[in-house]
Amino acid sequence: MLKYLGIEPEKIKIGVFDFTGCGGCELQLANKEGTLVDFLALLDVVNFREISSDRGDDYDIALIEGSITREDEVERLKEIRKRAKILVALGSCACFGGVNTLKNKFPLREVVEEVYGKDRVETGQVRALGDVVKVDLQIPGCPVSKEEVEKIVVNIVNGAEIKFPKYPVCVECRQKLNTCVFDLGQICLGPITRAGCGAPCPTGKVGCLGCRGPAEEANYESFRQILKDHGFSTAEVMEKINFFNALPEMMIDES
């Protein structure tokens, strides 16, 4: 830990927790070992099962991955909220409910029987963290961008302002000189989705699915025209929009 004027700054205590999700956002934080040591040097990690067996309840910041689907998760989340000075929703599942919310579109009993047969499983409607407790900060993505999370945590530690891009993914996509995915015959939600990810999906010739939520500077009228020009139906577009539950359905004209 670097010292300033001979004084060693106090480390921020952090806990990383997971609920109903795949664990991919947690793994992102543990990936890219080249920056991991410097990143962890700023922090006192008291709870993070992906990198340590230590368990502690004394933390300032709680990074939480996953959606809420059971009552025991509700109680556990509320306990974490009581202890944390700052609670951060990490990833699309935590921010919006994510892919898991597709379950909410069908009768719960049918969903359980389809997957588990007659086995009894405790599960309920999928909720984002903000539907249960107060969330101080959302970092969207599926998975999150490690670089973005590191930058945000460093800003929290240093008391610096946290800013997210207002422009859509299309800006980052154009900066990479990519061929527009629409011209490849696919629907892409990049024109209306908040940037910050670096446009990995369109770069890989796959349409953006809007995992980061709506861009503040999105031009919905232009987006509707693009869809119309390429002959995509409302049903096709809504299938994409509903995938992460991150974009409001009202942005599409049903007429």
Convert the pLDDT of each residue in 209-224 to its tens digit. 999 999 999 999 999 9
Q: At 4, is the pLDDT very low, low, confident or very high (cuts 50, 70, 90)?
A: very low
What amino acid is encoded at 49 in this protein? Answer: R
Which pLDDT does position 251 carry in this prediction?
61
Torsion angle in degrees (nearest 10) through CA of 43, 46, 48, 53: 130
Which pLDDT value is given to residue 35? 77
Q: What is the mean pLDDT of residues 27-48?
A: 82
Mean pLDDT of the region 98-125: 90
Flag whether pLDDT at 252 surpasses 90.
no
Instruction: Set out the domains of the chain in order of their start, with CATH numbers.
Output: 12-158 (3.40.50.700), 169-251 (no CATH)
Q: Which residue blocks in 107-197 are alpha helix, DSSP H?
A: 108-116, 146-158, 169-175
User: Using CA atoms, how far apart are residues 141 and 62, in angstroms rounded to an integer?
Assistant: 17
Residue 128 has pLDDT above 90, yes or no: yes
Say how many C-beta atoms besides its own lie within 10 A of residue 48's C-beta: 23
Q: Which residues pair with 61 in a beta bridge?
A: 14, 86
Tell me the mean pLDDT in the region 142-152: 92
pLDDT in tens, 40-85: 778 899 999 888 787 888 999 999 999 999 999 999 999 999 999 9
120/206: higher pLDDT: 206
What does the pLDDT average to over 80-92? 97
For the cut 80, the answer to whether the pLDDT of residue 246 exceeds it is yes
Q: Write down the pLDDT at residue 9.
A: 60
157 pLDDT above the threshold of 90: no
pLDDT of the residue at 12: 87
- Could you tell me which residue, 3 or 251, shows the higher pLDDT? 251
Contact 244, 255 (CB under 8 A): no
* Arithmetic mean of pLDDT, 184-194: 96
**Residue 255: enclosing H or E segment and its boundaries?**
none
